[in-house]
Amino acid sequence: AQKITQTQPGMFVQEKEAVTLDCTYDTSDPSYGLFWYKQPSSGEMIFLIYQGSYDQQNATEGRYSLNFQKARKSANLVISASQLGDSAMYFCAMREHNAGNNRKLIWGLGTSLAVNP
Amino acid sequence: DAGITQSPRHKVTETGTPVTLRCHQTENHRYMYWYRQDPGHGLRLIHYSYGVKDTDKGEVSDGYSVSRSKTEDFLLTLESATSSQTSVYFCAISAGTGGYGYTFGSGTRLTVV
């Protein structure tokens, strides 16, 4: 069973509008971390934001925020005031902290975001 | 930013030849990973290392081997390249901050003809 599900293969948003990229996860580990990465057309993988399972508040990093709903097992990425440079592939990932001493991340298949001028 | 470099950036090779990709880090991190990225499959783990000479298989390790003789270098070898191994290969290190997320190299685009 997929542990990270990103149900939106592709999304469009108008410049300056906000957009939410969905991510749901599945784990029985009470301690875990959730990550979002951006991959622009140039190919590099860029870390955006992190949320720990015990963090009381939703993580924010500039225009990025993570809407963490623990009971629903969702960790949606919210991008406010979209910019043309936000057009990219976005990946959600999870690390289960008690899954062995290897720090492996489990990845979703990604969502392609296009920002229209 | 963490120093992690991959070489080569691009390579075209013939079916049946061995190929070695190199990942070099300057951050002295213990954990290193090799992934391949293919359309529709996302990122799939090939092998990882949790210290010098300590490596383990990921989900798609068949046809690949790795070596780590020094902390800073993690080598991925395609023992006899096949067309199905045409892909983009990423190396990553697990940093000590931010929930132990990854820092990635720039990737190697490998084409097997």
**What local confidence, expressed as pLDDT, does residue A98 receive?**
74
**What local confidence, expressed as pLDDT, does residue B97 receive?**
54
| Contact residues on chain A for B58, CB-CB shorter than 8 A | 104
Q: How far apart are CA B46 and CA B39, in angstroms?
A: 16
Q: Dump pLDDT digits (tens) for A80-114.
A: 999 999 999 999 999 887 766 577 889 999 999 99
Q: Dump pLDDT digits (tens) for A3-57.
A: 999 999 999 999 999 999 999 999 998 989 999 999 999 999 999 999 999 998 9
Say whether A50 and B101 touch across the interface (CB within 8 A).
Answer: yes
Comparing C-alpha atoms, which of A52, A48, A21, A24 is closest to residue A37?
Answer: A48
**What local confidence, expressed as pLDDT, does residue A97 receive?**
78
**What local confidence, expressed as pLDDT, does residue A74 receive?**
97
Considering only CB atoms, A102 lies closest to which of B50, B92, B104, namely B50
Q: How far apart are CA B93 and CA B86, in angstroms?
A: 23
| Contact residues on chain B for A45, CB-CB shorter than 8 A | 90, 92, 102, 104, 107
Q: Dump pLDDT digits (tens) for B3-38.
A: 999 999 999 999 999 999 999 999 899 999 999 999
Determine contact: B100 vs chain A, CB below 8 A.
yes
**Most B CBs within 10 Å: which of A6, A44, A45, A89, as the mutation test of the B interface?**
A45
A63 to chain B nearest CA, in Å?
A: 18
What does the mean pLDDT of chain B come to?
Answer: 92
Tell me which amino acid residue A16 is: K
**What local confidence, expressed as pLDDT, does residue A23 receive?**
98
Give the residue from chain A lying closest to B102, CA to CA: A47
**What local confidence, expressed as pLDDT, does residue B99 receive?**
67
Is residue B13 within 8 A of residue B71, CB to CB? The reply is no
Determine contact: B103 vs chain A, CB below 8 A.
yes
Say whether B48 and A104 touch across the interface (CB within 8 A).
Answer: yes
**What local confidence, expressed as pLDDT, does residue A80 receive?**
96
Q: How far apart are CA A49 and CA B5, in angstroms?
A: 23
Q: Dump pLDDT digits (tens) for B49-62.
A: 999 999 999 999 99
Give strand pairing partners of B90: B35
Considering only CB atoms, B99 lies closest to which of A43, A45, A95, namely A95
A-B C-beta contacts closer than 8 Å: 53
Give the tokens for residue A56.
Answer: 């009381």
Give strand pairing partners of B32: B49, B93
Q: What is the CA radius of gyration of chain B?
A: 13
| Contact residues on chain A for B50, CB-CB shorter than 8 A | 101-102
Comparing C-alpha atoms, which of A75, A81, A41 is closest to residue A62?
Answer: A81
pLDDT-derived band at B95, boundaries 50, 70, 90: confident
Q: How far apart are CA A82 and CA A73, in angstroms?
A: 25
Give the distance from CA B80 to its chain's centroid: 16
